[in-house]
Amino acid sequence: MSIRDSQREMYERLYKEHGKDARALLHADRESQHERFLMLTRCFDHETEPFSVHVIGCSFGHLGDYIGQGWPHARYSGSDICPPFIEECRRRFPDGDFFLRDVSTELPEDRYDYVVLCGTFNIPQDSDRDEWQRFVYSMIEAMYGMCRKAIGVTFLTTYVDPGRERPDLYYQDEKHLLDFVARRLSRHFVLDSEGPLYEYTIRVYRPEYVW
């Protein structure tokens, strides 16, 4: 089974179990979900004029709600591989554009100021770890290709306290990630691990946009 099919099957199963709750998206609760959103939206927390945000893995639009509260002038859109998620976003955000697609397989022509992703890379399931790493990098490259200004992505940190590491989770090596970003995308990046979770966010800015 491909990574895309495996991920789609997992999220559709969780949707049947938990409905539209944050747990269907593998967040422990709404509080931890919002902590991730806080770190991710630092990409554009300086924006005062209208701008566009595209969410990879838009799911039920929870991040869209968060963006709408803090940045009502933002234009929100998204992509997902699960049909029920896209249907829900189209219903809840009729002014936005939502696509059923995997952007890592073919780079879309549409472009946005910011492209962000939250939590998708944490659960590889039965995927080979090397194959999963290639998937991670291909998705980040696609996101960077879709953005005009910057991308933001969340990861689990490798700096986990003894006894807390789980074999079913994917902890992205920070050094390898930074080497990939600096050599393949842009030397203008921020690795942010300020929050209370055992996670970090990387924000990568296009050189022409560094202010």
Question: Tens place of pLDDT for every residue, the chain, 211 residues?
Answer: 677 677 767 777 766 666 655 555 555 556 778 888 999 999 999 999 999 999 999 988 999 999 999 999 999 999 999 898 899 999 999 999 999 999 999 999 999 999 999 988 988 877 889 999 999 999 999 999 999 999 999 999 999 988 888 888 899 999 999 999 999 999 999 999 998 889 999 999 999 988 6
Q: Would you state the pLDDT for residue 153?
A: 97
Bridge partners (DSSP) of residue 190 are 203
- Model pLDDT, residue 127: 82
CB atoms within 10 A of CB 24: 19
Most distant CA pair in the chain, distance:
47
Q: What is the predicted pLDDT for the residue at 1?
A: 61
Assign residue 4 a region (left: φ > 0; alpha: ψ between -120 and 50; beta: otherwise): alpha
Alpha-carbon distance values, 35 to 4, 38, 47 (Å): 26, 5, 20
Q: Is 138 exposed, middle or buried (0-12, 13-18, 19+ CB in 10 A)?
A: middle
